[in-house]
Amino acid sequence: MDNKEQGSQKHFSFEIKKKMQGLGRAGVIKTPHGEIQTPSFVAVGTKATVKGITPEMLEGMGAQVALANTYHLYLQPGDELVAKAGGFPKMMNWQGPTMTDSGGFQVFSLGEAFGTGVSKVASGEDIVVSERKGYSKSKKFAHIDEDGVNFRSYIDGTWHRFTPERSMEIQWNLGADMIFAFDECTSPLAQHEYQREAMERTHRWAERSIVRHEELDPENKQALFGVVQGGRFQDLREESARVLGAMNFDGFGIGGSFNKDDMAEAVGWVNRILPEGKPRHMLGIGEPMDIFAGVGNGCDLFDCVSPTRVARHGRIYTADGQVQIKNARFREDFTPLDSECSCYTCQNYTRAYIHHLQRSKEILGQTLASIHNLHFIVKLVDDIRQSIYDECFEEFKDEFLKRYYTK
């Protein structure tokens, strides 16, 4: 890795600048590629690209950090090739701070959840369905054992194996500033007994991840985050936070699965125990309501593919909630997507134009919508951060959520 900093100089730090009542805080993470003001929304570039968005556009919308997926880049184009290119940040021409995930979530999402339509956030309905249907489908796509996991490539069906050590090696090759220990991300539907088994295995994998990381990266150029698991269960979440919090990690991820109704509470259980002075990343969460809950309960970083994924299908975030731009009522609407938005799209284009582009399946329609949605979420988290400094987080939250979720 190309890094001019030498010797004992610290490559990574976190400083809390302002605390709220309760667990929430604002701060600054320092990385070899710049600072991150927290709380912050992390742009997801799954395959080393935020789909349809250039790094210049990302910078223009105020994105501070980009995250790529270990699983996807390992399969295509391969982590060794990415290493030859100088790491994924260099390959994609993104100058700012970066992260990669552990690959563990994809083991879950392309394994157990494959074909069931169940995401990492369960609603009450999902749980009822699962108790009826059981899990028999899962075994075909991923096999988890004590040492690691065998899984099938979603591209060509070939079998591959991840272990904690392998995840560290792949993430070293990918070259992000912040990486995650290998974890097993369970289904939100899994019961207590299995959640405990998976959590304890994740803790053993965390220790192995630390050992391999130290061998690969003795100067700690890459910050290593441990991932707290434990599903919906308070005793397990607290135990996971205690065990991982005592390990030598630079920060922590809080992994799925959550129950939608008690997500805020579950995050609170964890963050009351994790060391206060280390950053906490709520993995895969991007709904405004959930971001407020996460910040209020002490999370510093959030990432989610939703803003760009739904944008490509015409769903647009506005201060008054989401709209479907392909809807006929926007055909002759010559106002911006959101009249209060300062993004490139809203400064230069109309709803009618983006309606037309999306209906006629023009690539630019997806790009313009993605710029807007990503800007919307990045700015929302920026505004949340400002509200912490201004000591009006609760007021800002009530005002925003009331408008966003009332149609």
Residues that bind Zn ion (CB under 5 A): 341, 343, 345-346, 372
Q: How far is the CB of 49 from Zn ion (least distance, A)?
A: 21
Query: What is the Cα–Cα distance from 249 to 271, expressed in whole angstroms?
Result: 15
User: Which candidate in 126, 183, 303, 338 is catalytic?
Assistant: 303
Residues 209, 215, 220, 222, CA torsion sign: negative
User: Which candidate in 79, 101, 183, 300 is catalytic?
Assistant: 101
Q: Transcribe 166-187 into DSSP letters.
A: HHHHHHHHHT-SEEE-------
Closer Cβ to Zn ion, 47 or 379, answer by number: 379
Closer Cβ to Zn ion, 107 or 346, answer by number: 346
Q: How far is the CB of 211 from Zn ion (least distance, A)?
A: 46
Query: What is the Cα–Cα distance from 18 to 176, expressed in whole angstroms?
Result: 27
Closer Cβ to Zn ion, 68 or 337, answer by number: 337
Query: What is the Cα–Cα distance from 50 to 59, expressed in whole angstroms?
Result: 12
Sheet with 25-31, strands from edge to edge, namely 13-19, 25-31, 34-38
Q: How far is the CB of 372 from Zn ion (least distance, A)?
A: 4
Closer Cβ to Zn ion, 76 or 335, answer by number: 335
Beta strand 13-19 pairing with 25-31: antiparallel
Closer Cβ to Zn ion, 221 or 356, answer by number: 356
Q: How far is the CB of 400 from Zn ion (least distance, A)?
A: 16
101 is catalytic: yes
Helix (H, G, I), strand (E, B) or coil at 346: helix
Query: What is the Cα–Cα distance from 368 to 189, expressed in whole angstroms?
Result: 37
- The pair of three-digit structure tokens given for residue 285, joined into one six-digit string: 């969460």
Using alpha carbons, list the distances in angstroms from residue 146 to 189, 205, 249, 282, 316.
21, 9, 22, 26, 43
- DSSP annotation of 42: E
Using alpha carbons, list the distances in angstroms from residue 322 to 5, 342, 351, 383, 403.
45, 17, 13, 19, 11
Q: How far is the CB of 354 from Zn ion (least distance, A)?
A: 10
In angstroms, the first-to-last Cα distance of the chain is 50
Q: How far is the CB of 182 from Zn ion (least distance, A)?
A: 37
| Phi, psi of 145, rounded to the nearest 5 degrees | -130, 180
Closer Cβ to Zn ion, 341 or 380, answer by number: 341
Closer Cβ to Zn ion, 204 or 313, answer by number: 313
Q: How far is the CB of 311 from Zn ion (least distance, A)?
A: 11
- Best CA proximity match to 286, nearest among 249, 320, 322: 322
Residues marked active site are found at: 101, 303
